[in-house]
Structure formats: structure tokens, C-alpha cells
Amino acid sequence: MTPLEHFPAKAGSIGIFDSGYGGLTILDAIRQQLPQYDYLYLGDNARAPYGPRSFGVVYEFTCQAVEHLFGCGCHLVVLACNTASAKALRTIQQNDLPSWDVHRRVLGIIRPTAEIIGELTTTRHVGILATEGTIKSDSYRLEIQKLHPDISVAGQPCPFWVPLVEQGETQGPGADYFVEKDIHQLMQADPLIDAVILGCTHYPLLMEKIKAFMPPQVRIIAQGSYVATSLACYLRRHPEVEQLCTKGGSTRYLTTEDASKFNLQAHRFLQQPVEAEHIDF
């Protein structure tokens, strides 16, 4: 691991990491609530998707990204990736941060949704739509039932949803077919579900289709606003971390993929021009 002295001590941007593009939906929601801070977004697009990869590989890749963001001056990093949050966050928090720098923080995006879900379900039956890796990790069920033992959780993997988003086919017949099929399978597994968490940051771009095929009594929960609210609360509770986050209202973008390709895809997620920088770990 990187020696402690290699990490800058002065204040820096809030780091936002994702294996690909979906974390841009989290960044967008965070900036809407907390526009005053500087942000540094890192997408490991060259090695995406993380979903099918093993716990060990996801942990290794996530560590590399977090170390890079720390090296760029970030004191706080948000893993805006459900797979990284599920497969790497706990190990990084418990094993790595004490040796890296006890004053730096790494947060995930599963717990904020798990914390709020108790207020969003009446039947106490909740569904999760996510990648195969996130569903197999069982992280949502474990986190939700740790906080709300009375809630029943059913998960449905949606392996084709991310490709649909990244190939720009959110309005095509393929989107209709796969979104309807996966929602139907989830509701068949538990007809009492009245709240469904979109456990992948790409999925908000399919919201029109999701709303069309989701039963009308079911509440659809996208993570972005809840993660943003949780981050705002965290910064209020931890002024020692907040004071190490610079406030210039700027955003930089880093990608392990070709920068021009990232710029094109990022525009689809953010609806604004993006100028990314290519990096290698």
C-alpha cells in the first residue's frame, strides 16, 4: 500500500469513484445538494464492469482507485459504485485506512439507502434490482436487515440493463423486453413488495421504462438523493473531515479509458459537456 507520507496533507476535493459511468448519477445528485464543494470523479472505465468480477479483484481495483484519489489530495472518497461498496468497502475501512491514514474516510452508497428504507415501505417487503454481482453479494439484504430486522428483501439481477444504458438503447424494444421481464420476475418472487431500490447507478437512465412496467403501488427508489442527503449529514457530523474539503464549486473527471469516449458517454448521463483526463494506475 502507498506510504502515508505520499498522501497530501492539505485540503482537497471530495473524491467520487465508480467502475464506470453510473456513478455520474450519484455525482449529479451530490452536486445538486452540495454545490459548494470541489469534486474529483474517477471512472475505471477501462476495466468495467466490476459486477462479474470476484471479491478479490474488485477489492484490488477499488484500492488502486482510492489510493489514486488520496494521492490527488482527496481526504474523503465516496464509492459511487454498488459493486465496490458491496465487495470492497468494509475491508478498506477496517483493514486499509488505519495503515493508509486514520484521518481519511471512504464511504459507500448501500448504507444510506438501507437507512432510509424503513420509512419508505408499508408492507415491509422490499425489492432490489441490481447487477448480478451486487445481488450475489447479498449486501443490500444484510445491511437492510441489520437496521430493519422486520423487512423482507428480494433481489433480482438485471444483467442487460447496464449494456442497454451504455449503448444508448434506453428507448428501444430491448429495453422494453428486459426491463419488463426482470420487474415481472421480482414481483413474482414477492408480490407484497411495495418499494424497489434501484441498486445500480446506471438504472435511473431507464426510469421511464421502469415506471412503465412497475406496478403502480410500488415506490421506485433511486439512490442519488439519499446518498447526497447522507453525505451532507456526514459532513455536518464530522467538521474535522468537512474542513479538509475545498469549496470552489469545481469538478474534474479522470478515466482509465480513452478520454474522448468518456466525454461522449458522460454527456449522456449529465446532459452537459465534460472534459476528462486519461490516467493509468
Q: List residues with catalytic annotation.
A: 81, 200
Nearest to 231 by CA among 78, 116, 123, 129: 78
Sorted by sequence, the CB contacts under 8 Å of residue 148 that are 6+ apart come out as 114, 117, 118, 124
CA–CA gap between residue 179 and residue 64 (Å, rounded) = 34
CA dihedral sign, ordered 263, 276, 42, 238:
negative
Nearest to 272 by CA among 28, 20, 13: 28
CA–CA gap between residue 157 and residue 159 (Å, rounded) = 6
Distances (CA, A) of 193 to 124, 130, 180: 8, 16, 16
